[in-house]
Amino acid sequence: MPPRRFSNWPSWWRTSSGKNNQSPARWCPFETRSIIDLATAGPIKIMEIRKGIGVSPGIVISTAVVLDAEDLLIPRRTIPAAEVSSETRRLQKAISASVADLATLRDSITTKHGKQIGGIFDFHLSLLKDRALLKALSHQISETCVTAEYAVSTVMRRYAANFHQMSDRYFSERVKDIHDIERRVLRALIGRKIEDLLHLDRDVVIIARDRRPSQTASLDRTHVKGFATDVGGRTSHTAILARAMGIPAVVGLGNLAAEVSGGDTIIIDGNRGVVIIDPDENQLAEHREFERQLVRLGEDLAGLRDLPAQTRDGHLISVQANIEFSEEIPDATNRGAQGIGLYRTEFLHLASDQEPTEEDHYKAYAEAARLLQGKPLVIRTLDLGADKYTRAGMANPERNPFLGDRSIRMCLHDIPMFKRQLRAIMRASILGDVRIMFPMISTAIELRQAKMILNDVMEELEDEGIAYRKEIPIGIMIEVPSAALMANTLAKEVNFFSIGTNDLTQYTLAVDRTNERVAGLYCPAHPAVLQLIRDVIRAGKRNQIGVSVCGEMAGEPLYTLLLLGLDLKVFSMNGPDIPEVKKIIRSTTMEHARQVARRVMSFDSERQVMHFLREETRKIIPEAF
């Protein structure tokens, strides 16, 4: 995949906002830019730049196809009491047909993208088999003497409303899955067949109000090159599927579908979360040239895969990958990852309404260790809460979940759940270089409690005669200011730190990174954030423990020189980011990086920081900057 930079984009991109030195990544979502080329003859051409949420990387220029919302109007129609039984049988037949279709779709996705991605549709299947739902549907038909269609529409909308009221981002996004199920059953009842883009004869990008998971899974990858939607978020099943399928996608664009017409030329940048409507010929030419430059740069970077991430003056750096699924490991290692610095394990809980068993955890971790063949595997314990709630957890939503019972706090409040995961990790620890990491530690007491529970698990495994790695390395995420400020104390109790710059930035600046209203204030280049990162790295060095950065900052080449100059030795990032970061490391010296860091740490605004880092990085990769 081509690199993801923006600074070499045309001059109108960098200057139209009047913020020449400010990264477009900090523009607020839903913001619209209109540029009118008054110099052209004929009708005035208006170009719009829309900022949303990039959920699947890649850049595509193609023709738009605008899809209707496909809202099926189901009027209330009563039936004679004598027809209730036959109507109920119609419903049962439609549900059986829907279950069969979903099972086929799930198996197809599993074959192509792995069990965990295909498991997204287990939620759909489990809901359609849920006795409470089936009883509610039958009761609606028998008690009110209505058609099966009206019963499905009424009951499923009621379910969707219950999910929507949970005030949790993850579960509000599950509403789309419920609408997906509703429409599938209604189509089975009505007999309506949806073409769903199966007969395309040209390349297109899809613009829609929303895309349901099954619609995304059914996309024709031959001709559908990308999509953009008005609504959606990073944790939606649609977003997860888009990433797995390699389809560039931007969501959360407000009212884009109402403003784009079929046939419009569209640029979708899934890396930056940007959609450009109706660029003129000069702009298209510039972007196509930029695409070609990125392709050439990507080919050049691919040659770095087997080369060490070593500075020109001989300092070796470890470049690792962040993953959610073990299926991502081959791609990460093919791009040059020297291990997995962050294995997020929440998807085992989020992909199903059933809590995973110890064996479910073990199989996932054992497969990851097998694929890595001795390379490091850092498994982060459950980071549930905030915007990642299980179906059971949504029943008691919190007023401010990002400051609530999340992550290690939730694990310490549910010891059986925590122990199941720890047992699985310890069992898998003998299969490779497995390490364990506790997230969201804010006090030394929390860390000690987590270590006590881990010790209990070790004793249980010992008593049961189950093998495990007794000296397993233990680390913590540094994600909150309290942990960063106490880094010297915490370093004495662990083997390594991993700095989670996403949450550390959020909590340091008091900015909800998922809230589009304040997105412009979220910036890891803020001097306060940089000072905390510097102090944590220094604390690790003083106490002779490893320190890595596993947040988005590690994979952003803009910050590579700075982090290197702060003496960071381990970078962990998304797989596609590895080649570009490695090139910067291999193109500089440690002394130069330290000079850059000293200069940056003297600045008092993020704008100064970003402008200086951009200029320094452009010297190394001018094609991307």
Q: Which residues are catalytic?
A: 237, 550
Angle at 119 between CA 115 and CA 125, to 5 degrees: 140
Q: How far is CA 470 from the centre of its chain?
A: 33
Integer angstrom CA distances of residue 191 from 168, 199, 253, 259: 35, 20, 33, 32
- CB atoms under 10 Å from CB of 378, counted, come to 24
3-state SS assignment for residue 99: helix
| Structure-token pair, residue 308 | 């060490």
DSSP letter (8 states) at residue 278:
S
What whole-number distance in Å separates Cα of residue 607 and Cα of residue 616? 14
Q: For residues 86 and 255, what is the distance between their CA atoms, to the nearest angstrom?
A: 43
> What is the torsional sign of CA 572, 573, 579, 585?
negative
3-state secondary structure of 101: helix
H or E element in which residue 134 lies: helix 131-144
- Phi–psi pair at 220, nearest 5 degrees: -80, 100
Collapse the DSSP code of 282 into the 3-class scheme (helix H, G, I; strand E, B; otherwise coil) and give the result: helix
Q: Dihedral of CA 346/352/355/359: which sign?
A: negative
Q: Please write down the long-range contacts of 137-144, taking CB distance under 8 Å and 24 or more positions apart.
A: 137/91, 138/88, 138/91, 141/84, 141/87, 141/88, 141/91, 142/84, 142/88, 144/78
- The 8-class DSSP code of residue 146 comes to B
